[in-house]
Amino acid sequence: MRFRHAASIWSTYPELTCGALYATGVDARVDTGPRAAVYTARALDRLAGATEGEFPEVLAWRRTFSRMGLKPTQVRCAAESLLRRLRKEGTLPCIHPLVDLCNALSVAYAVPVAVLDVDRVAEPLLEVRPAAGDETYTAFGGGVERPAPGEVTFVDSTGRAHARRWTHRQSGHSAVGAPTRRVLVVAEAMHEGGAEIVPELLKTVQEEVTAHWGAVTEQAVLSAAVPEFVFGG
């Protein structure tokens, strides 16, 4: 399978750094709580000194959303939404051991981290690109939506959208659940320093996935020069 960003994304957002990791052999039977707590604590320490809206990682995504014609305080990237919830409630929701771990890493690094069930994504291509307007998106509540033309989303080979407004919200269709065994983890940063942070975050995900599941992994840091990740044999 292939994962990539369209050329128009790289040309419009040259500041983007993306890391992608494929893992096989995950399940819902392990306990990632202690490790997730370590990363959540790191985020709480940082939030004690400033709100998430002051973080350069979040501000960079707010600028990106503004460029897309969105109101950044109404449509937030996933990392900002998680940080906001953590600041207000002191905890993050428990969804699935891998999702919980990646959410904790997302707040620790203040970078959006998506986790998709690969078996729910139509091969051979998943591409981050502006929507044509005919894609279908399944919300977590089960409703079907159509991303507006030009909206950046993740689109598979059948025209199914797996995100709304790029890093704002994932799809319920490809959400990780109890049956999930193969996943694609995608981390995307827009801030200065992202080129150093994303590889570190990707390495941490790889180490945690290997430690908890003994999973087989493949990974890549993507750029305009290396825009595609081919994985899964």
**187, 118, 133, 68 alpha-carbon torsion, rounded to 10°:** 0
Long-range contacts of 83-91, Cβ-Cβ distance < 8 Å, separation of 24 or more = 83/43, 83/47, 83/52, 83/55, 83/58, 83/107, 83/110, 84/52, 86/40, 86/43, 86/44, 86/47, 87/47, 87/51, 87/52, 90/44, 91/40
* Residue 229 in domain: no
In this predicted structure, what is the pLDDT of residue 232?
Answer: 96
Q: Do 98 and 176 touch, CB atoms closer than 8 A?
A: yes
* Residue 14 in domain: yes
* Residue 232 in domain: no
* Residue 230 in domain: no
CATH number at residue 50: 3.50.40.10
| Max CA distance (Å), the chain | 45
Q: pLDDT by residue (tens digit) across 153-200?
A: 999 999 999 999 999 999 999 999 999 999 999 999 999 999 999 999
Domain count, the chain: 1
Q: Name the pairing type of β-strands 113-117 and 228-230.
A: unpaired
Structure tokens at 137: 């998106």
Q: Do 153 and 162 touch, CB atoms closer than 8 A?
A: yes
Q: pLDDT by residue (tens digit) across 70-111?
A: 999 899 999 999 999 999 999 999 999 999 999 999 999 999
* Residue 115 in domain: yes
- In sequence order, what are the beta bridge partners of 47? none
Question: What percentage of the chain reaches a pLDDT higher than 90?
Answer: 99
* Residue 43 in domain: yes
Global pTM reads 0.98
Distances (CA, A) of 197 to 17, 39, 128, 191: 9, 15, 21, 10
Distances (CA, A) of 102 to 42, 65, 114, 168: 14, 22, 8, 15
For the chain, what is the mean pLDDT?
97
* Residue 209 in domain: yes
Range 138-147 average pLDDT: 95
- pLDDT band of residue 233 (cuts 50, 70, 90) is confident
- pLDDT band of residue 222 (cuts 50, 70, 90) is very high
Q: Name the pairing type of β-strands 17-24 and 216-222.
A: antiparallel
User: DSSP label at 147?
Assistant: P
Question: Which residue in this structure is represented by tokens 């990707």?
Answer: 202
Range of 33's domain?
A: 2-224
* Residue 233 in domain: no
